[in-house]
Structure 1
Amino acid sequence: MAGRLWKHGIYSFLEILRVRRPGSHEHMLTFIHQAYTLLELLYESVPMLEDIWLNFLGDISRYGMFVDENSDDGNIWIGVSRQWYSLASEKSPSAGHLYHHLAILARSDAIQKLYLYAKLLCVALPFTETRKNIWTLFYPGPCERRLSWIDAAFICVHRILFSKKAEDLFYQASTDYLALLDPYISTVTKEWRTIGYQTAIALCCSMLDYGEESNFFINQIAPRQKEDTSDSTSKSTSSPNELFPKARDFAIDVYQLVASRVEDPNTLSFLHTFLVFVWRLSKLPAAIVHLERKFPWEITADMLNSILGSCGFEARMDSEEFPGALRNDTPRPLPEDFALRSLVFADKYFPSAWFENCKLEEQIELASMDGQRRERLLWLGCRIASTKQWLIWKNGQFTVQRGYI
Structure 2
Amino acid sequence: MWCGCASTVDVVPSGISLPDGSQISVLSIDQTARWPGLVLQPDSSPVSESQLSTEIKAIYAALVIAEAKCSNLDTAQANNSSVELDKSQWQALIGLHRTLLYEHHDFLMATQHPAATPELKALPTTYSMPARMWKYGIHAFLEVLRHRRPSSQDYMLSFIYLAYQMMTLLYETAPIFLDTWIECLGDLARYRMSIEEEKEPHAQWGCVAASWYIKASDRHPQIGRLYHHLAILERPSLRKFACYGKSLTCVVPFTNARDSLRTLCEPIASEAQPARSVGLLSEASFCKLHALIFLAAPDAVLEQASYTAMSFLRQPDTFEWRDCGVPLAVANISALLGYGSDSNPLRLVCDVTIQRINERTRLGQSAPNHVATPSSIRSGPPEAKYEETRRLLQVSKRITLDSLHTVVRCPPGIAFIQDSLAFMGVMFCFIHFVCLAKRETQNDPELRMSLCLVFGPDEIAWADVARYLNNLARLRPVTDRLVQSARQGIWLEKAGEGKPLPEDFSIRGLVWAYFSFRPGWFDSDEDEDWLRNVEMASTHTARADRALYYGVRLAFGTPYLSYDSTSCTFSTGSVLATSPNTQILQPLRTNAADLSRQAQRALPGPNAPLSPPSSAPASSASDSDYVHVRRPAKQAPPAPAPATKTYATVAKSGSTPAKPARPTKPRLGADSVKVVDPESVPYEQAEA
How does the TM-score come out when normalised to structure 1?
Answer: 0.90
| Alignment counterpart, residue 225 of structure 1, candidates 371, 375, 381 | 371
CA distance in 2, matches of 1:391, 1:231: 34
Q: Is the 2:312–2:318 contact (alpha carbons within 8 Å) kept by the matching residues of 1? A: no
| Alignment counterpart, residue 349 of structure 1, candidates 504, 516, 519 | 516
CA distance in 2, matches of 1:271, 1:226: 29
Q: Is the 1:323–1:375 contact (alpha carbons within 8 Å) kept by the matching residues of 2? A: no
| Alignment counterpart, residue 427 of structure 2, candidates 274, 283, 294 | 274
Q: Is the 2:221–2:509 contact (alpha carbons within 8 Å) kept by the matching residues of 1? A: yes
CA distance in 1, matches of 2:506, 2:161: 32
Greater C-alpha Rg: 2
Question: Structure 1 residues 232 and 274, CA, compared in 2 at 3 Å: closer, same or farther?
Answer: closer
Instruction: Report the equivalent of 2:193.
Output: 65
| Alignment counterpart, residue 244 of structure 2, candidates 117, 121, 124 | 117
Instruction: Report the equivalent of 1:139.
Output: 266
Instruction: Report the equivalent of 1:329.
Output: 496
1:16 aligned onto 2:188 = no
CA distance in 1, matches of 2:554, 2:452: 12
Q: Provide, for residues 21-58 of structure 1, a one-character-per-residue CA deviation record: whole Å limited to 9, x for no partner.
A: 11111111121122112111111221111100011001
| CA positional deviation for 1:233 | 4.9
Q: Which amino acid aligns with 1:368?
A: S
CA distance in 1, matches of 2:327, 2:375: 37
User: Pairwise CA RMSD of aligned residues?
Assistant: 2.6
Instruction: Report the equivalent of 2:549.
Output: 379
| CA positional deviation for 1:231 | 6.0
The farther-off stretch of 154-163 and 195-204 is 154-163
Q: Write out aligned runs for 1:49-60 (5 A).
A: 49-60=177-188
CA distance in 1, matches of 2:372, 2:402: 36
CA distance in 1, matches of 2:323, 2:178: 30
| CA positional deviation for 1:312 | 5.2
Q: Is the 1:213–1:236 contact (alpha carbons within 8 Å) kept by the matching residues of 2? A: no
Question: Structure 1 residues 212 and 226, CA, compared in 2 at 3 Å: closer, same or farther?
Answer: closer
CA distance in 2, matches of 1:400, 1:34: 64
Q: Is the 1:311–1:374 contact (alpha carbons within 8 Å) kept by the matching residues of 2? A: yes
CA distance in 2, matches of 1:106, 1:170: 25
Q: Provide, for residues 245-275 of structure 1, a one-character-per-residue CA deviation record: whole Å limited to 9, x for no partner.
A: 2211111111111223442201100000011
Q: Write out aligned runs for 1:160-309 (5 A).
A: 160-183=292-315, 186=317, 192-223=321-352, 224-225=370-371, 233-235=378-380, 241-261=390-410, 262-263=412-413, 264=416, 265-285=418-438, 286=448, 287=451, 290-309=455-474
| CA positional deviation for 1:328 | 3.2
Q: Which amino acid aligns with 1:42?
A: L
Instruction: Report the equivalent of 1:320.
Output: 488
Instruction: Report the equivalent of 2:531.
Output: 362
Q: Which amino acid aligns with 1:119?
A: K
Q: Is the 2:274–2:281 contact (alpha carbons within 8 Å) kept by the matching residues of 1? A: no
CA distance in 1, matches of 2:428, 2:497: 25
Counterpart secondary structure, 2:535: coil
CA distance in 2, matches of 1:146, 1:34: 41
Q: Is the 1:160–1:167 contact (alpha carbons within 8 Å) kept by the matching residues of 2? A: no
Instruction: Report the equivalent of 2:476.
Output: 311
Question: Structure 1 residues 291 and 230, CA, compared in 2 at 3 Å: closer, same or farther?
Answer: closer
Q: Which amino acid aligns with 1:397?
A: T
Counterpart secondary structure, 1:386: helix
CA distance in 2, matches of 1:260, 1:169: 27
Instruction: Report the equivalent of 1:7.
Output: 135
Q: Provide, for residues 249-302 of structure 1, a one-character-per-residue CA deviation record: whole Å limited to 9, x for no partner.
A: 111111111223442201100000011111111123323684233211111000
CA distance in 1, matches of 2:381, 2:196: 46
The farther-off stretch of 356-365 and 128-137 is 356-365
How does the TM-score come out when normalised to structure 2?
Answer: 0.54
CA distance in 2, matches of 1:313, 1:243: 39
Counterpart secondary structure, 2:253: coil
| Alignment counterpart, residue 283 of structure 2, candidates 126, 147, 151 | 151
CA distance in 2, matches of 1:44, 1:303: 51
| CA positional deviation for 1:151 | 2.5
Q: Which amino acid aligns with 1:339?
A: S
Question: Structure 1 residues 5 and 54, CA, compared in 2 at 3 Å: closer, same or farther?
Answer: same
Q: Which amino acid aligns with 1:225?
A: V
Question: Structure 1 residues 165 and 95, CA, compared in 2 at 3 Å: closer, same or farther?
Answer: same
| CA positional deviation for 1:399 | 0.6
CA distance in 2, matches of 1:312, 1:257: 24
| CA positional deviation for 1:225 | 3.3
Query: What percent identity do the matched residue pairs reach?
Result: 30
Instruction: Report the equivalent of 1:93.
Output: 221
Q: Is the 2:430–2:512 contact (alpha carbons within 8 Å) kept by the matching residues of 1? A: yes
| CA positional deviation for 1:387 | 3.4
The farther-off stretch of 235-244 and 305-314 is 235-244
| CA positional deviation for 1:163 | 2.3
Write 1 or 2 for the structure with the bigger share of helix: 1
Greater relative contact order (CA < 8 Å, ≥ 6 in sequence): 1
| CA positional deviation for 1:323 | 2.7
CA distance in 2, matches of 1:371, 1:230: 46
CA distance in 1, matches of 2:197, 2:143: 17
- Structure 1: segments with no counterpart, 5+ residues: none
| CA positional deviation for 1:352 | 1.7
Counterpart secondary structure, 1:139: helix
Q: Is the 2:561–2:570 contact (alpha carbons within 8 Å) kept by the matching residues of 1? A: yes
Counterpart secondary structure, 1:393: strand
